[in-house]
Amino acid sequence: MTDVRSSRVGSEELTATYDVVIVGAGFAGMYMLHKVRQLGLSARVYDAAKGVGGTWYWNRYPGARCDVMSLDYSYSFDPELEQEWEWTEKYATQPEILSYANHVADRYDLRPDIQFDTRIERSSFDEEAGRWTVRTSAGDVVSAQHIVMAVGTLSTPKLPEIDGIDSYEGETYQTQRWPHDGVDLSGKRVAVIGTGSSGIQAIPNIAAQAATTTVFQRTPNYSMPAGNRPLDAEEVAERKAGYPAYRQAARESFFGVPIAGEPKMALDVTEEERNAAYQAGWDAGSLVGLVGAFGDILFSKEANDTAAEFVRTKIRSIVDDPQVAEDLCPDDYPVGTKRPCLDTDYFATFNKDNVRLVNVRRTPIVCITPTGLDTTEERFEFDAIVYATGFDALTGSLVSVDVEGRGGATLKEAWADGPTTYLGLAAAGFPNFHLVTGPQSPSVLSNMMVSIEQHVEWIADAIEYLRDNGYETMEATPEAVNAWVEHSTELGNQTLYPLADSWYMGANVPGKPRVFLPYIGGVGPYREKCDEVAAAGYEGFKLV
């Protein structure tokens, strides 16, 4: 047991005691620290990286940029920050977002309470003391009343299960762990495996340098042109002048980005009207441009087919070689049910003489060799292989920490059949264990900044409520968790998402339970539900 006064836990000496331990120094962890400090509480943030920024610290591949507009993908909690910071492009580059993260860390003097280069290895709940004991890779053993898991949703990189992967003797790169000093691929024969958002952003940039670029594609993607451009001073001034109302509209919206007007249904309008709306969505260069064009696209396969065919027609019009165009056309899952992508010249890149597409559905990769890779039909030699093969999303980074809750039960065991949370904020059996943008919350189906701010503020309010009302712990009840999981699953099943083998469904990780991981009830309605729970004295939580 932890005796805070004697600074010991069992036989181990405590190195420190905090009110709150925060795991992760990305946008969630940094804001959480800021909020906790405002409550006058002590906190320590741990992050395995050597700097702040979370996903934007690690994902430095060429072409990495946000695909939510920079004027939306930014904190709203401080009017001075949002007025003073100057975004330069419609979609900010990774370096610009990282410099924003560093600016935030400096502006609120966050660094003294952040310990970099340190992983949380084990956290266990001491029932008698009602506190967590947290052990880090740096040898810290700290006691905390609360743990906030601000670990991000896409933070545990995933390599493909291909035989011989370790035998390769050339240069190997992963988009999710790109070298910080950059990579010079000029004159090299480069393979890229993976055509999700990361691959689709990286491939045109790699192809601009490399002697040859060979893209190994398993599943083609519905990608639209980002239409990136410098921001002009007038639009920035206008947005900044209207920020309070705009941010509020984002909080109340479905995806965390305001969409004007009530959407019509695709099947209620004429083909001309439909295609005009899709064209407008395509031209807008926005993730919600196409999927948000009509209210039934994510719910009706027939409606979805009209949007999917629109994208396929575009791909065929861009790509010169008809067979390559067909291979690039997604046709076995509805548009929007795998994360859509925004690109800059992705499809046109396949018109270059030195770029080749290999459809590994037709000719699967057999193995990686010391000098390249073999498909069922061909032997390839490369100077470098780039893996753009994604993440163990939403749960990977939560269960990789050895978290022991009440009775020594681990989160990994508790979630063996899929995550079970209350509101994506808490899990039964894990008191004072708070999740930021956890599974079964809108998280990855939203503008992450809006969802991060909502969760951080909700958690900070809850911690304050406990303190001010003489409670030590809060814990989601099994009944509340079951009801929320049932509700979240039911909503997911009303959509087309389960039709795709996506990371939303956990389908990209062998052995991971196939469940719909995020919450599709919409950012605004979800926020209302969370606020109601808090207003009712944290209904669904047991407060002790």
Positions that interact with ligand N01 (CB under 6 A): 65-67, 154, 160, 162, 175, 193-199, 201, 216, 218-219, 339, 360, 365, 388-391, 444, 503, 508
DSSP track, 84-109: H----BSS-BHHHHHHHHHHHHHHTT
Beta carbon of residue 471, minimum distance to ligand N01 (angstroms, whole number): 37
User: Measured from the CB atom, is 199 or 334 closer to ligand N01?
Assistant: 199
Beta carbon of residue 462, minimum distance to ligand N01 (angstroms, whole number): 28
User: Measured from the CB atom, is 375 or 477 closer to ligand N01?
Assistant: 375
Q: What six digits make up the tokens of 82?
A: 């949002």
Four-point Cα dihedral 233, 239, 240, 243, nearest 10? -170
Beta carbon of residue 324, minimum distance to ligand N01 (angstroms, whole number): 17
Beta carbon of residue 470, minimum distance to ligand N01 (angstroms, whole number): 42
- Give CA–CA dist 96/205, Å, rounded: 18
Environment class of residue 509 by beta-carbon count within 10 Å: exposed (0-12), middle (13-18) or buried (19+)? middle
- Give CA–CA dist 27/104, Å, rounded: 9
Beta carbon of residue 408, minimum distance to ligand N01 (angstroms, whole number): 34
- Give CA–CA dist 487/496, Å, rounded: 16
Neighbours of 23 (CB within 10 A): 29
CA atoms within 13 A on the CB side of 103: 14
Beta carbon of residue 226, minimum distance to ligand N01 (angstroms, whole number): 8
**CA 403 remoteness from chain centre:** 21
User: Measured from the CB atom, is 199 or 506 closer to ligand N01?
Assistant: 199
User: Measured from the CB atom, is 365 or 460 closer to ligand N01?
Assistant: 365
The dihedral through the CA atoms of 77, 82, 83, 85 has a sign that is positive
Beta carbon of residue 422, minimum distance to ligand N01 (angstroms, whole number): 24
Beta carbon of residue 326, minimum distance to ligand N01 (angstroms, whole number): 17
User: Measured from the CB atom, is 478 or 513 closer to ligand N01?
Assistant: 513
Contact 498/334 with Cβ under 8 angstroms? no
Q: What six digits make up the tokens of 78?
A: 């401080």
Question: Which helix (H) or strand (E) element contains residue 493?
Answer: helix 478-493
User: Measured from the CB atom, is 314 or 339 closer to ligand N01?
Assistant: 339
Beta carbon of residue 343, minimum distance to ligand N01 (angstroms, whole number): 9
User: Measured from the CB atom, is 212 or 217 closer to ligand N01?
Assistant: 217
Q: Which residue is nearest to ligand N01 (CB)?
A: 196
Kindly state the greatest CA–CA separation across the chain. Answer: 75
Nearest-5° angle of CA 267, CA 270, CA 274?
75
Calculate Rg over the CA atoms of the chain.
24
Q: Where are the beta strands (DSSP E) in 329-462?
A: 341-343, 355-359, 365-368, 372-375, 379-381, 384-387, 402-404, 433-435
User: With b meaning 16 or more CB within 10 Å and e meaning fewer, what string describes 349-384?
Assistant: bbeeeebebbbbeeeebbebbeebbbbeeeebebbb
Beta carbon of residue 197, minimum distance to ligand N01 (angstroms, whole number): 4
Contact 251/458 with Cβ under 8 angstroms? no
Q: What six digits make up the tokens of 120?
A: 């949380």
β-sheet bridge partners, residue 342? 224
DSSP, res 391: B
User: Measured from the CB atom, is 66 or 150 closer to ligand N01?
Assistant: 66
β-sheet bridge partners, residue 157? 391
Beta carbon of residue 202, minimum distance to ligand N01 (angstroms, whole number): 9
- Give CA–CA dist 249/537, Å, rounded: 27
Beta carbon of residue 340, minimum distance to ligand N01 (angstroms, whole number): 9
Helix, strand, or coil (residue 402): strand
- In the numeric block, the tokens 């390839």 are attached to 380
User: Measured from the CB atom, is 365 or 414 closer to ligand N01?
Assistant: 365
User: Measured from the CB atom, is 148 or 365 closer to ligand N01?
Assistant: 365
User: Measured from the CB atom, is 67 or 113 closer to ligand N01?
Assistant: 67
- Give CA–CA dist 313/98, Å, rounded: 37
User: Measured from the CB atom, is 269 or 499 closer to ligand N01?
Assistant: 499
User: Measured from the CB atom, is 160 or 513 closer to ligand N01?
Assistant: 160
Beta carbon of residue 444, minimum distance to ligand N01 (angstroms, whole number): 6
Q: What six digits make up the tokens of 468?
A: 């001010």
Beta carbon of residue 6, minimum distance to ligand N01 (angstroms, whole number): 46
β-sheet bridge partners, residue 543? 474
User: Measured from the CB atom, is 247 or 339 closer to ligand N01?
Assistant: 339
SS3 labels along 122-151: EEEEECCCCEEEEEECCCCEEEEEEEEECC
